[in-house]
Amino acid sequence: MPDGTPYHSFALPYPIRVDNFTSTIDDLVPPYNRPALHLLTHVHADHVKGLASKTFTYRVVCSPDTKEMLLRHEVYAERFLHDHEYRPEKGKTFGHLKVDPYVTPTGYKHYTGSRDLLHAIPLNTPTEFALSDNETVIITLIDANHCPGAAMFLIEGPRGSILHTGDVRAEAWFLSSLLRSPFLQPYLADSADDLRIFVARQEGMHPEDVALVRTLEVIYLDTASLFSTVVIPSKEHAVQGLVELIALFPSNTYFFLNSWTWGYEDILKGVARAFHCKVHLDRYKHTIYSHLSDPFLRALGTRDASSTRFHACERFDRCSFVDVPHYDFGCRGAVTPLSKEGKKVVYVNPVTMSCARWETYKVDVRRRVLKGEILDSLLVPLSRHSPLPELMNFVALFRPRRVIPNTLDPSLGGLDWGAMRRIFEGCLSTQPSPNSPF
């Protein structure tokens, strides 16, 4: 997890550690010194700390797509050396997590030294895990709408139920999908809550004893954009607007789609779908997408740079069709940026932008293009994290007893956590837990 994660990345009240695999916890007091289970929400660099260590030998629960991406992970320096034939082998960052048995020429398998530390379970598949001889939990992975393979973890056990979001984009359609999840429906807050409480009091019971409806003890919430109060466009609205802007340019214009990290795949899919063409990918990106469960993502890429005008190759090692030497994209000028192949290139960059600003931006771009101005870059407001308005809607959907941030800024000395308690106060359950661990 990012720096500043509370409880040393443990998903209390359980001895489960999420997105932190460092071995610096040996000197800490229980329960922080011996995780019974490790969970990995997705493969972004700030969530895999410690996994690259050859001394890490614990089992890690993740989604199938996350496992595929992790085992094929290559840092840029290693990709460059291999792609330019300085190094014959691909440098796999996490290859030590899965070691296949040695197979002799006769077909006999030697399992000595083989291992597979990545325990991939499909989404929406409740799976039981033992934390000790006398305690088990049920873990269900639910799509997090953040990047390929990203998952939230619903953990259910004798100490109560918790939801760990990892990184999440809780836009409107995503919240609607959660309403229909059979695994989350028991935890949804609804109008029946008041009646349930009334009946419980009449019967002298705890509210959760009245029906199958339950309350989450805690949501471990993605707070990367906690203090962003703007209303931002949905991914669909952002991509649709980008497609409309691209359509304004001459048909011989080339576009570099700066999908610099996992999570901007909606841009590639939207462009491929709108213009009925494939997107040129570098070797690494093409390999990753080709092994994911999304059939559209598997199919949209091509390694033939000359076959399309849309490119999402290495941003620091672009192909000759979109590589413009000695040109500073984004600086207005009268010079048309031409690539090494003589193509006019427009650089598309994802940013964070409010809905109001996005509408103004689209009007301005349309005016400038129709006026004949030279534009060398476009922005698209595709966000991978939810700002505060979306986070509040997400938490209010469940009304848990407590919300704990996944990320804290150490420089604030806990002020952000204190503010968070007040911010979400109206989104939490007022009913005490029968056995609260906090």
Q: Is the pLDDT of residue 263 over 70?
A: yes
Through-space distance between the first and last CA atoms of the chain, rounded to whole angstroms: 21
Domains 6-227+386-427 and 235-380 alike in fold: no
Which pairing describes strands 60-62 and 109-110: parallel, antiparallel, or unpaired? Answer: unpaired
Q: What is the pLDDT of residue 335?
A: 66
Average pLDDT over residues 63-92: 88
Over residues 270-285, the pLDDT tens digits come to 999 999 999 999 999 9
pLDDT value of position 300: 98
Helix, strand, coil distribution of the chain in percent, nearest 5? 30, 20, 50
Residues 6+ apart with CB under 8 A from 106: none
Per-residue pLDDT of 342-392, as tens digits, reads 999 999 999 999 999 999 999 999 999 999 999 999 999 999 999 999 999
Mean pLDDT calculated for residue range 81-110:
81
What's the predicted TM-score (pTM) here?
0.91
Residues 63 and 146: their CA atoms lie apart, in Å, by 13
3-state secondary structure of 379: strand
Q: In one letter, which amino acid is 429?
A: S
Radius of gyration for the alpha carbons in the chain, expressed in angstroms and rounded: 24
Q: Is 378 helix (H, G, I), strand (E, B) or coil?
A: strand
pLDDT in tens, 211-227: 568 999 999 999 999 99
Token representation of residue 85: 């034939």
Pairwise CA distance, residues 81 & 88, whole Å: 8
Map out the domains of the chain as residue ranges. 6-227+386-427, 235-380
Locate tokens 């094929």: which residue?
72
Instruction: Please state which architecture CATH assigns to domain 6-227+386-427.
Output: 4-Layer Sandwich (3.60)
Predicted local distance difference test score (pLDDT) of residue 2: 66
Residue 182: exposure state from Cβ atoms within 10 A (0-12, 13-18, ≥19):
exposed
How does residue 1 score in pLDDT terms, banded at 50, 70 and 90?
Answer: low
What is the pLDDT of the chain when averaged over all its residues?
90
CA dihedral angle for residue 107, residue 108, residue 111, residue 116, rounded to 10 degrees? 20
**In Å, how far are 159, 208, 229, 265, 436 from 433, measured between CA atoms?**
10, 9, 31, 41, 5
- Please name the fold of domain 235-380: Rossmann fold (3.40.50)
Q: What is the pLDDT of residue 203?
A: 56
Res 297: pLDDT:
98
Amino acid at 216: L
Angle at 228 between CA 226 and CA 229, to 5 degrees: 110
pLDDT at res. 192: 44
**Residue 27: per-residue pLDDT:** 64
Beta bridge partners of 256: 311, 347
User: What is the predicted pLDDT for the residue at 336?
Assistant: 75
Q: Which of 4, 37, 40 is nearest to 20 (CA)?
A: 40
